[in-house]
Amino acid sequence: MSKKILDVKNLKKYFTTDQGVVKAVDGVSFSIDEEETLGIVGESGSGKSTIAYTVMGIYRPTEGEVIIKGQKFASKKIKTSLNLRKEMQIVFQDPGSSLNPSQTIKQILELPLKVHNIAKTKSEIQSKVKNLMSMVQLPEDFLHKYPGMIGGGERQMVSIARALAVNPSFILLDEPTSALDVSIQAKIIDMLMDFQKQFKLSYLFITHDLSLMKNVANRVAVMYLGKICETAPTNEFYSNPLHPYTQMLLSSIPVISDEEEDLKPKRVISSGEIPSPVNVPSGCGFRTRCPKKMAICSEESPEIVEVSKGHFVCCHLFSK
Ligand code: SF4
């Protein structure tokens, strides 16, 4: 039986602004098993980054909770403990701003080992750091360089090594390759997939790149205006998308062959941009762009329902 590692329950994160309350994440629930990758996709402004920061305890949730290996990690009332922090690591999109530019790579990798008491003596720390460098295939002479002296892909490998330093159970990957050259993206993805198997890691992989997601995720969730509108196992997600928003996203993926074009959903024409999160439409948040909207869509918010095993949709077309 698969072992549940991360459990996110009814997570909400609201911000009060001069324009009103922004419901950046509005009642999101999901779980991730050991060695599983859940992908979250959505446009800018859908709430993907706020989910990342709230799950990691960087933002305190407005409501709901984050549970790691059965222990509460973050909620409105709980301050995250150092011990549990070790279980949850993050790799950010831009390694240039997530690594301290005034520290050498050696200092960057030593810090988590010292803070979490992973290695005690100087020689233990040294050997752990060397091992981390070899795992991410970086030469030892980089240890004395600063992040600004190495390439973007190499900096991202340092970020991955730093995340692995504390033997976590879960890593949140927030667009880990989108700031990198195409040539290095595949290498980073292969590395992450290898580490997942080797260390039985659970990943939450956030990206706007639906083609990439197809190759990395076991399950995919789509976000729109702070809510999840559809979740399904990856094959089912790409072959049988049900929510009009998912169909719109998938129909717009560029492909290079007629065979791939045939596999895509028929082009779904939607109008407009994602609305301001301060002014979320009544009823279904997608109704202002949805080609299939009905009268009920502006009156009632749809509930998320399971339409087949593991395939959940939040749309009145599927309400029971
Ligand atoms: Fe479209 Fe209505 Fe479904 Fe929303 S609930 S996605 S508006 S059909």
* Phi and psi at residue 199, to the nearest 5°: -110, 15
15-32: per-residue pLDDT in tens? Answer: 999 888 999 999 999 999
Does the C-beta of 227 come closer than 6 Å to ligand 1? no
Taking 60 as the threshold, does the pLDDT of residue 256 lie above it?
Answer: no
Provide the mean pLDDT of the chain: 91
Cα of 65 vs centre of ligand 1, distance in Å, is 28
pLDDT value for 229: 96
Query: How confident is residue 258, by pLDDT bands cut at 50, 70 and 90?
Result: low
* CB distance 284 to ligand 1 below 6 Å: yes
| CA pair distance 205, 119, nearest whole angstrom | 29
From the list 105, 221, 211, the residue with the least C-alpha distance to 165 is 105
The verdict on the CB of residue 242 being under 6 Å from ligand 1 is no
Kindly give the distance from the C-alpha atom of residue 262 to the centroid of ligand 1, in angstroms, as a whole number. 25
Whether 293 is in the pocket of ligand 1, judged by its Cβ within 6 Å, is: yes
Rg of the Cα atoms in the chain = 21
Residue with tokens 């939450």: 204
Shortest CA distance to 60 belongs to which of 49, 75, 50?
A: 75
Q: How far does the centroid of ligand 1 lie from the alpha carbon of residue 28, in Å?
A: 18
> What amino acid occupies position 6?
L
Query: 62-71, 204-213, 263-272, 293-302 — which is least confidently predicted?
Result: 263-272
39 within ligand 1 shell (Cβ under 6 A): no
**Residue 184 vs residues 52, 161, 191: alpha-carbon distances, Å:** 24, 16, 11
pLDDT for position 278? 83
Residue 230: which pLDDT band, with cuts at 50, 70 and 90? very high
CB 286 less than 6 A from any atom of ligand 1? yes
Nearest-atom index, ligand 1, CA of 285: 4
On whether the CB atoms of residues 272 and 248 are closer than 8 A, the answer is: no
The partner residues of 30 in beta bridges, in order of sequence, read 8
Closest CA to 298 of 285, 283, 286, 288: 283
Residue nearest atom 8 in ligand 1 by C-alpha distance? 293
Q: Is the CB of residue 225 less than 8 Å from the CB of residue 301?
A: no
Q: Kindly give the distance from the C-alpha atom of residue 98 to the centroid of ligand 1, in angstroms, as a whole number.
A: 39
Backbone phi, then psi, for 222, in 5-degree steps?
A: -110, 135
Task: Look up the pTM and report it.
Answer: 0.92
Model confidence at 313, pLDDT cuts 50, 70, 90, reads very high
User: pLDDT band for position 279 (50/70/90)?
Assistant: confident
pLDDT in tens, 124-135: 999 999 999 999
Tell the residue nearest (CA) to atom 3 of ligand 1.
315
Is the CB of residue 292 below 6 angstroms from any atom belonging to ligand 1? Answer: yes
